[in-house]
Structure 1
Amino acid sequence: MKKFAAKAASALCAFGLGMALTASVQAATDEAIIERIKPAGSVCVQGDDSCGGAAAAAPASSGGARSGEEIYTGKCAACHASGVLGAPKFGTNEMQLRLDEKGMETLLSHAINGFNAMPPRGTCADCSDDEIQAAIDHMLK
């Protein structure tokens, strides 16, 4: 009977230990799942004081207006360097021919509002009208 009681006690201990480990593993798994699916951040709307003093957004450009060359190199050259989808190529007389044909006001309007394959403002959504004009002037040099 003592052998049976000892075996029963061992089995009961093993069972209890197994249950404790299973609960521990399950808790760790639940924590991992919660960590993995938690939101990456939160949205703070301007004027909402419950955001914990979120910093004000930085201005888009702190250095003032960019030069026409900077705009062309960073935004326009992707299409105008090689003439993608009929874009007038930089370094040729294509832009001057279009200027002579349509006038500066029309070229500027097309650059700002889009025309044919060119989207509005090309690929420079943060460019001012003056920066678009400067990029056109640079392309006409």
Structure 2
Amino acid sequence: MSDAHNEQQSAIKTPKQLLAAVAGFFLLTVIGIILLVQFVTAQKLTGAGTDSQSPEAIAERLSPVANAGFTFKDASGPKVLQSGEAVYTATCVACHGAGMAGAPKFGDAGSWSARLAQGYDTVLKHAIEGLRAMPAKGGNPDLDDVEVARAVVYIANASGGKFKEPEVPAPAAAADGAAAPAQEATK
């Protein structure tokens, strides 16, 4: 048998090539270390010589996240009712603007005529409770029934309807406050 199978082939065949390969390896290692040190020290360090301990920088770090442009809504305050157009723009336009999932398109008198023939109360009931693919209140449970009614009137009137803008009920607190003096007078 021949020893031809046991011969190993290598890219390094001479001592000069071995010396060049070892030198190249060390050179690449040194360059890698230098680049790593540059990367780590390139960022501005905080501490002595920086303004990280100035009163302004400390106040900025300690300021509430809410000061970064968030708007708070007072849940206990009186609700400001939106107009029909605002409700349509914020909630209803997603489906009624393009006629998604069988929704009648805004301003299309032909697709709204059968619905408007059922009357205001039926259309409003369907808007508040939902019907087929339409969720209750258009998917926005935060809407008040008056806001939904305003949106129904806005959409229906733009599509050939002649519905009247709904009356806004008096606030419950004012009604309770007016009823209290009347009860005291009867005592």
> What band does the TM-score fall into relative to the shorter chain?
0.5 to 0.7
Q: Give a deviation string over 1:76-105, Cα, whole Å, max 9, x none.
A: 0000001111101001112343111x1111
How far apart are the structure 2 equivalents of 1:95 and 1:132? 17
Alignment of 1:2-81 (within 5 A): 58-59=74-75, 64-81=80-97
Alignment of 1:111-126 (within 5 A): 111-126=127-142
Instruction: Report the equivalent of 1:90.
Output: 106
Return the match for 2:116 from 67, 79, 99. Answer: 99
Structure 1: state its 5+ residue gaps: 1-56
Which structure has more relative contact order (CA 8 Å, sep 6+)? It is: 1
Alignment of 1:123-134 (within 5 A): 123-134=139-150
The answer to whether the 8 Å contact 1:114/1:120 transfers is yes
1:64 shift after superposition: 1.2
Q: Give a deviation string over 1:87-124, Cα, whole Å, max 9, x none.
A: 01001112343111x11111111111110000111122
The answer to whether the 8 Å contact 1:71/1:131 transfers is yes
When Rg is computed on C-alpha atoms for both structures, the one with the higher figure is: 2
Q: Which consecutive aligned stretches of 4+ in structure 1 deviate over 3 angstroms post-superposition?
A: 60-63
Q: Give a deviation string over 1:43-80, Cα, whole Å, max 9, x none.
A: xxxxxxxxxxxxxx822886611000000000000000
TM-score, structure 1 normalization: 0.54
How far apart are the structure 1 equivalents of 2:91 and 2:76? 16
Structure 2: state its 5+ residue gaps: 1-72, 159-187
Secondary structure in 2 matching 1:105 = helix
RMSD (CA atoms): 2.0
How far apart are the structure 2 equivalents of 1:87 and 1:61? 35
